[in-house]
Structure 1
Amino acid sequence: MSNSAYSMEAQVKVEDLPMTFKVKYIGSEVGRGLWGIKYTRRPVDSLVEAAKNLPPNKVLPFCELTVTLDGVNIEIVMPKTDTRSWSYPIDTISYGVQDLVYTRVFAMIVVKDDNRNPFEVHAFACDNRATTRKLTFALAAAFQDYSRRVKEDAERNNTIAPIQKKFAIDLRDPEEMQGEEEEETEA
């Protein structure tokens, strides 16, 4: 499939939300920056390595990741135990990307109220590249709607839009980002 056909197939509109994806939760690690593949690279490598080295009797938990206009909801059903769930409001997610090395991995950076470690990278394994891409586009649609709502609120209240936390979504194909990653490692 060509890159343009690949991107078109994954397109998600605001009206398509909410969307739920069945994924495996790889885990989370402290991040070192607000947005960019350079800040998800090390945590994703570390999390994937740890997942590959799990004991034979331990597996990554399946979860339902739902992207809504208000944020991301995660529900993990643990075999023989409870269901764990948590949410990240859209204004706390600063970045989302389909990993360029592990193209079935979706990573996102969440900004927390922690002065020492304000950034947290979460990683999820999807069943295929197309699902990962669609998940990335779903978060992009949520970001688009959030941006629109902030602007409308400012206009309605005759105020200047408040200074927003930055957020970004990287919609380039992993192949397109490869050159950027190589430049960063050479620097």
Structure 2
Amino acid sequence: MENINMKTVNFVLSGLGGQGILFMTKIFALTAIDKGYNILGAETHGMAQRGGSVVSHLRIGDTESSLICAGTADFLISMDESEAYRYLPYLKKEGNLFVNASYDTFPDKRVTSYFSKMKIKYQAMQASKVAFKLGSPRSTNLAMVAFYSGFDIGPLTKDELRTTVNTLSPDLFKEKNLKIFDTCYKTGRKMFLEN
């Protein structure tokens, strides 16, 4: 497939060790490659095996550097609320934040003025609870990818991401993974249409 030139779109994906940040990055990266986009990425694992911070930078489009500078990320997708706050400075003004947290309590009141000043658009869903209820607690990462896709923003569509999830999922988990994807896509889509 021929590479497509486009403005660079920056994703920062964050969470804790064991939450599947690298697999989530792989879903976005392979989907972008399948569309013919150039990609570059970088990962920081910290003490990932001990539940430490994990962050992945993914740049889709015309870029020569894999690292995303503070204040330039279009999207921050975080598997953990505390990690969302930690990596918040990476989001550009009017950037988009998707976080695995309760919609009723996010964001913490101490950061609402920053959100307002930076015009950050944020969405929260308790992806861990949804994945657990659907019988696959280790698929919270897929739930967040699907939730993001419900808002129909960025260079990758819901159908393209779902196809990649289908391709990457082992046969044993394919049905559950797609059920989680479809359920969380619908949650995101409903929130998008209500706002």
Task: Decide: shared fold, TM above 0.5.
Answer: no
The structure richer in helix per residue is: 2
Structure having the higher Rg? 1
Q: Give the TM-score of the pair, scaled to structure 2.
A: 0.27
With a CA cutoff of 8 Å and minimum separation of 6, indicate the structure with the bigger relative contact order.
Answer: 1
